[in-house]
Amino acid sequence: MQDRYDSAPLGIVELTNDGVVRAANERAKQLLQGEDFVDRPVSAVFPESIENTVPAAFDHSPPEPREVEEYYPALERWLDISVVPSAESVTVYLQDVTDRHRDQQRIEQLRGDIDRLTITNTLISDILGELVDASTRTEIAKTICDRLGGTDIYEFAWVGERDPGSDNLQIQASAGTPGRTFTALSDSLETGTRLPEQRAIETAAPVIVQPLGGDESVPETVRRAAFADGLQSLLAIPLTYGSNVYGVVGIYAPEQDAFSERERASFETVGEMAGFAINASRQRSLIRSDSVVELTLELTDSDAPLVSVATTTDSRLILDGVVGQSGDLYCYLRVEGEPEAVVDELETIPGARDSRVLGAHDTGGSLEVDLTPETPLGILSAQGVTITYAEYENGRGEATIELSPETDVRRVAGAITQEYDAQVLAKRRQERELTTPEGFRDALSDRLTDKQETALRTAFFADYFESPRGSSAEEVAETLDITGPTLLHHLRASQRKLLAEFFETTDRD
């Protein structure tokens, strides 16, 4: 047999009817990882498998024919096996089908990943859609938890926010089947034991723990509870807006590798959207409140860009307004000094990006500068406050901000004082009268001259501001019996006063 079958692509083993090997070709020896099979029993030649198909065939007399594909852990191979009895002997044919089985496993895994990704993307899309309509922090937390905890792929989810006045976390909402794990988490928060969710807040980056039971950064009580509940994976996503971190969502799943990098990236979007929604809810609270907390801060740190440039150029800088845009903070400043010199100096200062002169006159001018989120104004802007005033001169800056009464003043002030030499000069609670539409119109009417109001009203009703325009500037000017340049002058002046009233700025015209 050896001469006839050594060149065969299949493994061939010939045995007696009572299961003793007579001969084996070279391919069989390769597949079964052995050398000398002759006169050895079948159980010693074939490693253990779940079914032990080949040795089991010899439990009967005569041996039974068998055809099966079987996995051999010791060999790390799938073998296609045929047991063919005859009157005098039994021949076993072997073929390695490992690659085919691995390909099938990959295909099944990819299908599972695609199905899971489809479910996850749909879930995230639903969450993002509902976050748009959530108006309070409680609604935001509940929306996230209800959606994540209500699916079959995750066991439970919870949202925590920083406790006002401390660095501790407090639970805002939870949903799903928390079991003993959630109890252990709650106990850890009460005792101050550090959780992966707190690490996500501190680093402002997602944290994945897989498997839960083998990660010593997780408190032992939580690991034991997760083992008892059959939980193996955790994903902690910080709720961020700009450089500010408002809280975290913790998602727990039963699978060991539940969270792929793609899922992590998708959930980062949820964290950013939730942070944006929380910031917006704070802004709405501030706008609708009939009282505000007014905080005045003094900044004496030479590393602060506007303090530095005001000192170096011997200028006085007064903030007119700020506009946040995709990680940029555009600040509009009035300059008492040389605007060009200020812009030239800003180009050399870390934290200040593009800047340009908007206008210049004998005693100063105005400019635009893009500040990074790490600068004092960037940090304040990320806190969801309104910056009402700021000025910089002679090595110091002073800023006044407005916060809603429920905002944690200590945390807002701490965001600045932890990074820069700064202090709180004053804190006041101010009652304010909410402006009605009628009040807004009356205030604007008081600021407009008769000619400006007439020009603005005529242009509006003549569809001058429509696109495409219903009337040209010349046609509106002819209606008013004035020249085109005069009309444009009145429109610019009235529009600026309208916008100044809306944005509550000082009109310089």
The CB density around residue 48, as the number of other CB atoms within 10 Å, is 11
pLDDT the model gives residue 418: 86
pLDDT the model gives residue 440: 60
pLDDT the model gives residue 329: 83
pTM beyond 0.85: no
Strand order through the sheet with 77-85: 21-24, 11-15, 90-96, 77-85, 66-72
Distances (CA, A) of 119 to 114, 148, 158, 207, 289: 9, 11, 20, 21, 40
Which residue matches tokens 């820069």?
A: 420
Taking alpha carbons only, the member of 202, 229, 230 closest to residue 217 is 202
Strand order through the sheet with 291-299: 352-361, 364-371, 328-336, 316-325, 386-393, 396-403, 291-299, 422-431
Dump pLDDT digits (tens) for 76-109. Answer: 899 999 999 988 899 999 999 999 888 888 877 7
Contacts of 3 (CB under 8 A, 6+ apart): none
Tens-level pLDDT at each residue, the chain (509 residues): 555 667 778 899 999 999 999 989 989 999 998 888 889 999 899 998 888 889 999 988 888 899 999 999 888 899 999 999 988 899 999 999 999 888 888 877 777 666 666 667 777 777 777 776 676 778 888 888 888 888 878 889 999 887 654 567 888 888 888 889 999 999 988 888 889 998 888 888 899 998 888 888 889 999 999 988 989 899 999 988 766 788 899 999 888 888 877 778 778 888 888 877 777 776 666 556 667 888 999 999 999 999 999 999 999 999 988 887 666 788 889 999 999 999 999 999 988 888 888 888 888 998 989 898 889 998 888 777 888 899 999 999 999 998 877 777 887 888 888 889 999 999 888 776 655 556 566 666 667 888 888 888 888 877 888 888 888 889 888 878 899 889 898 888 888 888 776 666 555 44
pLDDT the model gives residue 299: 93
Long-range pairs of 332-338 with CB within 8 A, sequence gap ≥ 24: 332/358, 332/366, 332/367, 332/368, 333/306, 333/366, 333/367, 333/368, 333/369, 334/364, 334/365, 334/366, 335/364, 335/365, 335/366, 335/367, 336/363, 336/364, 337/313, 337/364, 338/313, 338/364
Tokens of 443: 């205030």
The full 3-state SS of 229-287, as one line of letters, equals HCCCEEEEEEEEECCEEEEEEEEEECCCCCCCHHHHHHHHHHHHHHHHHHHHHHHHHHH
pLDDT the model gives residue 436: 56
DSSP code at position 20: B
pLDDT the model gives residue 336: 93
Tokens of 233: 């994976």
